[in-house]
Amino acid sequence: MKSAIYLLSIAVLALGLYAYDSKQRNDQLEQAIYGQYTNSLTNASEKLSTLQQSVSQSLLFQDQQALEKELDNIWRTSNEFRSSISSLPLNNEITNEWLRYVGKIGQEAKATADSGNYETWHKKMEGVHKNLETLSDEWTVATSNFYQNDGDFSKWSQVATKETKDSPFKNVASNLKSYSETDFPLTASESDWQKKRDLKNLNDKEITKDEAIEKLELIVPGVKDATYTVSTSKDDAPYPFYHIQFVKGSRIGYADITVKGGHILSFLSERPISEERNVNQQQIKDISNKLLKRAGYNDLQIVEMRENHEAWHIALARVAGEDKALVYPDGVQLKLSKDSGELLGLNAMEYVQKENIDENQKVIPIDWETFFRPGTLVEDEKLIYTENEALQLRKCYQVIAHFDNGIDDTFRIVVDAETHDVVKVEYMA
């Protein structure tokens, strides 16, 4: 009996010590996170205040240099604010609205600095300035509870789980939503981009499930006679599509095909890939071209090939116009196995609705020798269509340039063919 009591006492003591140790560790962790959240909250509050002041100051100047300095401040501060806000455990709705609204202010500042359209900036920011002031006041009220210096972590855990309507940030969220709509309505180019992304504009004839399967088997004959499970997209989906899942031997995969017109959006198949390498790079190209022809993609050109351990990924772009410019936003991607060259994937979501391109846009030649510093070698000049920062589709020059210094740092540079604005610079490995 004595021994049992003795053993029990030791067990209780050990359990107590363990519980104490766990609680200590838990408290320490909570304190560390509390400190981090408070730091992010303070940073966010300070950045919001700085942003509000910078927007206000930008309304002071007409002088280009002074205004550009403020625009740069606004762009930088908006990014810093976004970073602080995204590290707080607010609910999705509030975080998303903040990120969107402040991101728009930053983008607008950058676009104004690039375009020099200061008048529009001043006009737009008069409203934004007032709204930021309101938001700043509401933010101070909503966050005051977090500055009571009591180290109470439950405040943060509660705010994270509360729905917006029960949250202290309720007013901030509702104002942000309304200010986003009034201060930054979708521009025409953004709407176009959104429409394309949503594929809402398809007006083709609807196809049946069986026709969708036929379409898949035409493009991927390897899945013929597979076992199919076909479902349709949910009612809220912006465009209706068939979701076909298939199993054939060791192959398991899916294909999404639009109900309107039976356009293949994407297809992926998974199977074990053997170590054998029976196809070379040229054969992969030939297989790609054949299957594109079979699928009716007659206006595509390979722009990039990437070999990895099991498969090749191939990127293609539509060729358009007399100058055979590559329309990058109308791209298709293929995935072919390395063991046999079998088609393992096709992604044509962006190709379904073709971009409206302006073939009449001027193309003014560029002297690359004066455009780049001496010691830069330029190869492979092409005309392409790509979106600029304002999401406008522009005809551009694309060149591959590298330093003639033995290190061979290589860049892809995209330059507007008419204005000669640099649209993109990409470091190539």
Partner 1 sequence: MVRSIFMSIILLFGTFAVVKQNETLAFSSQVIERGAFGDDVIELQARLQWIGFYKGKIDGIFGYGTYWAVRNFQEKYGLDVDGVVGTGTKEKLVNASQYHRDWVMQQISQGNRFTHYGGTPLANQTKAGGGGGGGGGGQGTNNNSTVQLPPKYTERDLQLMANAVYGEARGEPYEGQVAVAAVILNRLESPDFPNTISEIIFQPRAFTAVADGQIWLTPNERAKQAVLDAMNGWDPSENALYYFNPDTATSAWIWSRPQIKQIGEHIFCY
Per-residue binding letters, 75-94, with partner 1 (x by CB under 8 A): ----x--xx--xxxxxxxx-
Tell whether residue 96 is a contact of partner 1 (CB under 8 A).
yes
19 to 48, contacts with partner 1 by CB under 8 A? none
Tell whether residue 280 is a contact of partner 1 (CB under 8 A).
yes
Please answer whether residues 238 and 257 qualify as being in contact, where contact means their C-beta atoms are separated by less than 8 angstroms: no
Please pick, from the candidates 313, 321, 340, 361, the single residue that binds partner 1 as defined by CB under 8 A: 313
Tell whether residue 406 is a contact of partner 1 (CB under 8 A).
yes
Please answer whether residues 328 and 317 qualify as being in contact, where contact means their C-beta atoms are separated by less than 8 angstroms: yes
Please answer whether residues 413 and 401 qualify as being in contact, where contact means their C-beta atoms are separated by less than 8 angstroms: yes
DSSP 381: E
Tell whether residue 244 is a contact of partner 1 (CB under 8 A).
no
Tell whether residue 253 is a contact of partner 1 (CB under 8 A).
yes
- Two tokens at 59? 């309304």
Please pick, from the candidates 281, 359, 364, 381, the single residue that binds partner 1 as defined by CB under 8 A: 281
Segment interacting with partner 1 (CB under 8 A) among 16-24, 66-74, 118-126, 278-286: 278-286
The secondary structure of 190-253 as a DSSP string is HHHHHHHHHTTT--PPB--HHHHHHHHHHH-GGGTT-EEEEEE--TT-SS-EEEEEEEETTEEE
Strands 325-337 and 376-387: parallel
Nearest residue (CB) to partner 1, 274 versus 280: 280
Torsion of CA 35, 39, 45, 48, to 10 degrees: -150
Please answer whether residues 83 and 67 qualify as being in contact, where contact means their C-beta atoms are separated by less than 8 angstroms: no
Residue entry with tokens 């470091």: 427
Q: CB neighbours (10 Å) of residue 156?
A: 18
Please pick, from the candidates 68, 192, 217, 310, the single residue that binds partner 1 as defined by CB under 8 A: 310
Please pick, from the candidates 361, 400, 419, 421, the single residue that binds partner 1 as defined by CB under 8 A: 400
Give least dist CB 247 to partner 1, A: 10
At a CB cut-off of 8 Å and minimum separation 6, what does 67 contact? 58, 61, 118, 121
Tell whether residue 245 is a contact of partner 1 (CB under 8 A).
yes
Please answer whether residues 400 and 429 qualify as being in contact, where contact means their C-beta atoms are separated by less than 8 angstroms: no
Nearest residue (CB) to partner 1, 180 versus 392: 180
Q: What is the largest CA-CA distance in the chain?
A: 100
Q: Which helix (H) or strand (E) holds 36?
A: helix 2-58
Nearest residue (CB) to partner 1, 165 versus 205: 165
185 to 204, contacts with partner 1 by CB under 8 A? 197-198
Segment interacting with partner 1 (CB under 8 A) among 68-76, 209-217, 361-369, 406-414: 406-414
Please pick, from the candidates 204, 206, 210, 304, the single residue that binds partner 1 as defined by CB under 8 A: 304
Nearest residue (CB) to partner 1, 3 versus 154: 154
Please pick, from the candidates 130, 209, 354, 412, the single residue that binds partner 1 as defined by CB under 8 A: 412
Could you give the residue ranges of the DSSP H alpha helices within 295-348?
none
Give least dist CB 168 to partner 1, A: 16
- Positive or negative, the CA dihedral 191, 196, 200, 204 is positive
Please answer whether residues 242 and 256 qualify as being in contact, where contact means their C-beta atoms are separated by less than 8 angstroms: yes
Segment interacting with partner 1 (CB under 8 A) among 52-60, 129-137, 304-312, 361-369: 304-312
Please pick, from the candidates 335, 342, 415, 423, the single residue that binds partner 1 as defined by CB under 8 A: 335
Tell whether residue 175 is a contact of partner 1 (CB under 8 A).
no
Please answer whether residues 356 and 340 qualify as being in contact, where contact means their C-beta atoms are separated by less than 8 angstroms: no
Tell whether residue 254 is a contact of partner 1 (CB under 8 A).
yes
Distance (Å, whole) CA 67 – CA 55? 10
106 to 145, contacts with partner 1 by CB under 8 A? 107
Helix, strand, coil distribution of the chain in percent, nearest 5: 50, 25, 30
Residues contacting partner 1: total by CB under 8 A: 74
Please pick, from the candidates 4, 149, 275, 309, the single residue that binds partner 1 as defined by CB under 8 A: 309
Please pick, from the candidates 50, 402, 418, 419, the single residue that binds partner 1 as defined by CB under 8 A: 402
342 to 371, contacts with partner 1 by CB under 8 A? 345, 347, 349-350
Nearest residue (CB) to partner 1, 103 versus 168: 103
